[in-house]
Structure 1
């Protein structure tokens, strides 16, 4: 069995780097290729002092089988689209998949106050090949929004980006990962 220590080391480094640069970050910033992954998007503040009323996550190409977690007090919606590259899941060819997940607060009482943080969660399967995967997140507030969608032209450094997308570093495991639900 291969050691997973390099994956955990990469997670720690990437998480520290992302937290310093971005305000919507993934709890776990690295994951094995071809594995089930729980994406917890941490929202650390509102928009210019206003409470967060909506979060929309655009699912990057290659992230498969997205299933969002409902959040009490929030309306959950998904948008599906035809895939440019179909994939196989349990012997079935998947030609359409979730490309966007949105959570919208059901009124002011359910909005996320500026002084608090929360997480918005979904799961899916990472691509079979390693590399950076960027989740673009639109944070809507009472009277403003933050579009966390900037990505570097190359590499994974978000230095100099004012509103970087949430980065997941997919790491080749050297062996086929177990598929879990």
Structure 2
């Protein structure tokens, strides 16, 4: 009896722990595709899981950081969703990368055309953003998730250093150190340069190989002609000796 009670109590405790800890892994988050380097451009994905057992997520609103406005924000088209980009005038224009910004995208909203994100599923919402600021190590995006039953979950609580994760943390994008060259396009240009250089080397090698091949063929023909001449000369000399 004692053993059965202990097993039952352990099962209940384990279930409770799993139930309480599950939401911590199911919050809205943001991750870059590759690297989000300071001063560059990046594609980031907002991952939105459905935490409801009965309702679908039908609307996702992402608010961009006002303290670090981004000059370029472009959403990717997603089947089954309508996207709206909201621009607003900044209270105080800022200068970023030598460009004065007085207006910036402050909010991006996705609204489901159909069922949305059903229970047990998640959806990624990609954005191309930049240029990323160089004077901060992270960007905080506040997100609002709306369900088909009209319930709303606000993922807006900032993570304080040294503190436990809040119940509804705001998606935070960690920025890596600036890459050499600094801005978008440098890597692509470098790859293109390397490709062009490799092509030039390949052409030079091919030309050299063609030249060597042609020379070898000419020398071979000359050798054959010289050989045939030698044979003919030998035959004629033999005939002369015989006649003598």
Q: TM-score, normalised by structure 1?
A: 0.75
Quote the residue 1:147 is aligned against: 154
Quote the residue 1:113 is aligned against: 118
Q: Write the distance in 1 (CA, Å) between the matches of 2:127 and 2:146.
A: 18
- Following superposition, the deviation at residue 78 of structure 1 comes to 1.2
Q: Write the distance in 1 (CA, Å) between the matches of 2:181 and 2:26.
A: 32
- Following superposition, the deviation at residue 22 of structure 1 comes to 5.2
Would the aligned equivalents of 1:39 and 1:121 in 2 still touch at CA under 8 Å? yes
List alignment gaps of at least 5 residues for structure 2: 1-22, 189-244
Quote the residue 2:32 is aligned against: 28
Is residue 61 of structure 2 the alignment partner of residue 56 of structure 1? Answer: yes
Q: Write the distance in 2 (CA, Å) between the matches of 1:169 and 1:92.
A: 23
Deviations 1:32-51 (A, max 9, x none): 11111111011122446411
Deviations 1:110-130 (A, max 9, x none): x11011111011111111223
**Larger-gyration structure (1/2):** 2
Quote the residue 1:45 is aligned against: 50
Quote the residue 1:8 is aligned against: none
Aligned-CA RMSD value: 2.7
- Residues 151 and 46 from structure 1, CA distance in 2 versus in 1: closer, same or farther, beyond 3 angstroms? same
SS in 1 for 2:103: strand
- Following superposition, the deviation at residue 27 of structure 1 comes to 2.8
Aligned length: 158
Q: Write the distance in 1 (CA, Å) between the matches of 2:26 and 2:69.
A: 21
Is residue 89 of structure 2 the alignment partner of residue 82 of structure 1? Answer: yes
Is residue 167 of structure 2 the alignment partner of residue 132 of structure 1? Answer: no
Q: Which structure features the higher share of strand residues?
A: 1
Q: Write the distance in 1 (CA, Å) between the matches of 2:50 and 2:146.
A: 11
Would the aligned equivalents of 1:79 and 1:100 in 2 still touch at CA under 8 Å? yes
- Residues 40 and 174 from structure 1, CA distance in 2 versus in 1: closer, same or farther, beyond 3 angstroms? closer
List alignment gaps of at least 5 residues for structure 1: 1-18
Quote the residue 1:12 is aligned against: none
Quote the residue 1:173 is aligned against: 178
